[in-house]
Amino acid sequence: MSKILPVIALLFLSFTGNSQRIDTRLYELRIYRTEPGRMDALLNRFTSHTLGLFEKHGMRNEGYWLSDADSNLLYYVLSYPDLASRNAAWKAFGDDPVWQKARSESELSGKIVASVESVYLTKTDFSTFKWHRGDKQVRKHPMVFELRTYTCHPGRLPALMSRFRNHTTRLFEKHGMKNVIYWTTVEEGGEQSKLVYLLTHDSADAAKRSFDAFVNDPAWIKVRDDSEKDGKIVSRLESVFLTPLPFSKIR
């Protein structure tokens, strides 16, 4: 028995250490606007070539969605160990003859991508969702995803983070919204980061009902008022509803 207990203790410490490991990966949100009528060509290229080539070169496919408001917009998230790995992976991908051939053949009927927007992200300490390879939520009816981006007044990001960490995420769940993942943006030149996060809802109507209940909840009103005693926190809020693609890991 005396020999077994130390082994059990070691296994316990190893398990708890792994379960509390901080996710330090660099995430990248990429938004592609296609030329009119070329989304099908882009999705075909992704399913036939791009997804596999991303993984080949060390890029992890995390999630893929189409905008509910604009049929020419594809949103997707990749992740990497760090920025240097990201840059090396993209260079290797761009130089890969298989990719060059796939791109050329897919564009015989015309250009596909009109513009690309890229946002670097790091996961917050209160983002509890374990978004790792192999995780997948499969439903008969896909969830409606909502991507929300908060820009704060100067110096007010810590107050927003504290409010989400201690109150908002719990109140979201109370009112039927599922917290998926929370990030802060990596900004150049020392600019203040933004808070970016994903929620899921059963439907767009359910999202409206949930937020109506949330903003009228006395608990939220108190939290909001207490947190804004030193001034307003959020200067701008952007919300985009997204539909997951069949090949998205999270859908």
pLDDT digits (tens, 9 = 90+) for 166-199: 999 999 999 999 999 999 999 988 899 999 999 9
Measure the CA–CA gap between 212 and 11, rounded to whole angstroms: 46
DSSP symbols for 12-35: HHHHHHHHT----PEEEEEEEEEP
Its pTM stands at 0.88
Question: Pick from 121, 154, 172: which residue ends a domain?
Answer: 121
Dihedrals phi, psi of 11, to nearest 5 degrees: -65, -40
**How far is Cα of residue 206 from the mean position of the Cα atoms in its chain?**
21
Counted domains in the chain: 2
- 139-167 residue pLDDT tens: 445 689 999 999 999 999 999 999 999 99
In a domain, 111, yes or no: yes
- 31-60 residue pLDDT tens: 999 999 999 999 999 999 999 999 999 999
The helix or strand, by DSSP H or E, that contains position 219, with its residue range, turns out to be helix 218-227
Q: In terms of residue numbers, what domain contains 187?
A: 126-244
Measure the CA–CA gap between 248 and 206, rounded to whole angstroms: 22
113 and 133 in a single domain? The answer is no
Measure the CA–CA gap between 231 and 222, rounded to whole angstroms: 15
Task: Give the amino acid at 153.
Answer: H
3-class secondary structure, 1: coil
Output the domain CATH number for residue 155: 3.30.70.100
In a domain, 249, yes or no: no
Measure the CA–CA gap between 70 and 190, rounded to whole angstroms: 32
